[in-house]
Amino acid sequence: MSAASIQKKYQNTCKLIHRRRLADAMVLLRQMVQETGKEYLGEQVDALQGNYEQLLKHSFSGVPDPERNKVYQYLLRSLLELADQLQELVLLNTSGGTVFQLKRDMRKQKRLGQTEVHQLLEEVCFDDELSGLLKDVRVGTGADTMERQRSLLKMFHVAWLADKYTEEEISLLESVCDSDRLPWHDKSLIVGALTLSLLAYWDISKCLLLFRFVEAQQQHVWERAIIGLFLGLLKHNERFALYPLLEEKTLALRSLPQMEEYMEALLIQYVKSRETHQVKKKWEEEILPAMMKMRPKIEEKLDLNNIFGDAAEEEKNPDWETFFEDTPDLLNKLQELTEMQMDGMDVFISAFARLKHFPFFREISHWFMPFYAENPHLKPAPGAREGAADLSPLMEKLEETYFMCNSDKYSFSLNLAMIPEQQKAAMMNMLNAEIQNMSELEKDQDMLGGTARVKSSFTQYFQDLYRFYKLHPWRAEFDDVFEMDLDLHETAFLNHLMVDGKTVRNLGEMLFDKQFYDDALKVFLSILDRDKSNIELFEKIAYCYEKTGELQMAYDYYKKAELIDTGRQWIVKKLAWCCRYLNRWEEALTHYRELEKMDPEDMPVQAHIGQCLIHLKRYQEALDYYFKLEVLAPENEKIRRPLAWCSFLTGKLDTARDYLERLLSKDPCNHHDLMNLGHVLWCQGDALEARKSYIKSVLCWKSLRDFEQAFKEDSLHLTARGIGEQDQDLMLDYLKLEVRARQAKEK
């Protein structure tokens, strides 16, 4: 079975288990067992099925069973974990990816025993005497140091590549967390490995270890651990309720100082880090075209929506911009403190993308390594000539600054080391000054304060993760955490930590601001259950529905907003806009008449009134509005198109011809204008010139079928002007023969 097939079967199995369809899930599990060739795993399925049958039997025996729920939860957990194991076994045998090759290599080695655990800890932990010396002496690149780096790398791989941790591995990682001798940057590295491992393969032990790192509250380490928990439990959200210990540990985090504020900052940073171009792309390439297909053809023919553009009516309410003024702790501070970093994410990822090809970045653990000045990889290579510029002071300043993420700091430093000495000295002087300015700015902004420092740590780590998932050569082998389906409001881990209604509202606002309208909608609807008097909620819910293409729901909520505050211009514009796209032209006209009373000089409103009147076949009234617009905006050539059409339909053929000829002088290949001119010429009795204009239209259209369809849609207007149906059929056949003859000649 291919990797894609087993993954699909695994996903279906998990869905069945989460939907409590265990009997069906066990059928798929048996099929997966056959794929592995491990018959003993079939015995596990048999045992679980036997337990389930006993549970079912007792459930309907009429005898109360106080342990039934616990047994059922145990079955759900066991079936899911067995599905995890089966998928991994098949992928280990079939996947050609680099990560699975590393896993296969690791499985050939003996798992860590207690002796190996102690040995690893001794190799990576500084002893008391050595750590005292290191306060005044720089770490060198001797054999001991390199041996320590190799042991640290082994520890990273154990934490990352192991699916289910053994007792010895758990003991090792607990010791890493609890050690007073292990530097913070090494603990941070191991937290990165734990996070990668949890995202790849579920094991509650990994969650509990991350909780342990969070509870230890070591600066620069716990911030990464809470992000690891957030990402892992976001991905495995449906499993949270199956492990009561997770709820217990999560609730205990509330007692940590400012935890809800930190979670809010974490969420904001995560949402900011995600790509939003796909959201915009979906609106422009899927939703809007689907809506346009439902519109009458006259819209395209006369280009009615683009006379003044439709952008003004799609804009957000300008009053919404004031929302965050009442919540300075949410955005104002965060923007002041991290605007530079977030801008830097967009700028620096382009600048440093090409600098991720140093040998340093070939080792995956280095993408998760915090930047610290004493890193042996930053030391001069053995044999470096004397007199070379000492980069250590610059590295120390770089370690302390927040304006660049760790990954980019390494790219920058490694690149700097390769620059010729003369240029390097000049560049270092400049950079020292710049970093000094940054340091002063950070101090001015109270960057040394606890809250600001934590938020900056979140920013840097998310930037590091972003680079890993977007730039690493093996990125296709990882599920991108920045592309996960957003369902933040339904994430159990977050719900247990965000109890303040203000925090939930802020989450909705951030999702809304970043254009994740589906997710913002869920948050706003949940808030609406508690507060039905807030007009802004109704407006934003309506706007979310609008942006996801559910225009009837958008209309309904705009109407509810209007009931709270009648006559607001922005709401009336939105109602009119929805009615147009729902093809409710009479109602749209009513709304635009109301807007006209509010602002008689609003030319887009005048244009839309004309548009509604055309759809309602009130052509003379429409003509009056477009004449008025021509006087007010004579430079707007697009007004001439509906003027020409309405003139034609009201019998003003000379006027229609004049407008069309002026339009074609500017745009001679507009197939709609050429067809309309043909109509006018024919109705004026000049069939020969009409035929020439029709032929030009077909050639510009590049589709005889599309021309014929559009021509037939106008048939009733030609009939009304005295052109019989037989003559219309003859004209179409003549055009077909003429165009086909020309095409054959060109070949």
CATH of the domain at 738: 1.25.40
Is 483 part of any domain? Answer: no
Q: Which of 26, 60, 95 is the last residue of a domain?
A: 95
Q: Which of 95, 111, 143 is the last residue of a domain?
A: 95
Is 460 part of any domain? Answer: no
Residue 125 has pLDDT above 60, yes or no: yes
Q: For 331-384, what is each residue's pLDDT tens digit? A: 444 344 344 444 334 446 666 787 888 899 999 999 999 999 999 988 765 545
Please state, as a whole number, how many other Cβ atoms lie within 10 Å of the Cβ of residue 504. Answer: 21
Is 485 part of any domain? Answer: no
**Contacts for 550 with CB less than 8 Å, ≥ 6 apart:** none
Helix axes 184-200, 143-161, angle to 10 degrees: 30
Query: Phi-psi region for residue 183, left (φ > 0), alpha (ψ -120 to 50) or beta?
Result: beta
- Coil, strand or helix at 384: coil
Query: Phi-psi region for residue 651, left (φ > 0), alpha (ψ -120 to 50) or beta?
Result: left
pLDDT band at 179 (very low <50, low <70, confident <90, very high): very high
Least confident of 21-25, 117-121, 212-216, 222-226: 117-121
Of the two residues 699 and 438, the one the predictor is more confident about is: 699
Is 465 part of any domain? Answer: no
| The total number of structural domains that make up the chain | 2
Is 613 part of any domain? Answer: no
Q: Which of 95, 123, 139 is the last residue of a domain?
A: 95
Is 417 part of any domain? Answer: no
Residue 585 has pLDDT above 90, yes or no: yes
Is 673 part of any domain? Answer: yes
Is 727 part of any domain? Answer: yes
**Contacts for 191 with CB less than 8 Å, ≥ 6 apart:** 210, 213, 221, 224, 225, 228
Q: List the beta strands (DSSP E) in 301-354.
A: none
Q: Which stretches within 485-549 are classed as H helix?
A: 492-497, 501-513, 517-528, 535-547
Per-residue confidence (pLDDT) for residue 674, from 0 to 100: 96
- 183 alpha-carbon distance from chain centroid: 35
Distance, in Å, from the CA atom of 542 to the CA atom of 524, rounded to the nearest integer, reads: 10
**Contacts for 671 with CB less than 8 Å, ≥ 6 apart:** 697, 698, 700, 701, 707
Residue 507 in tokens: 């989450």
Per-residue confidence (pLDDT) for residue 143, from 0 to 100: 59
Which residues constitute the domain of residue 58? 3-95
- For 667-691, what is the mean pLDDT? 96
- 467 alpha-carbon distance from chain centroid: 15
Q: Do 673 and 663 contact (CB within 8 A), yes or no?
A: yes
Please report, as a single letter, which amino acid is at residue 405: C
pLDDT band at 485 (very low <50, low <70, confident <90, very high): confident
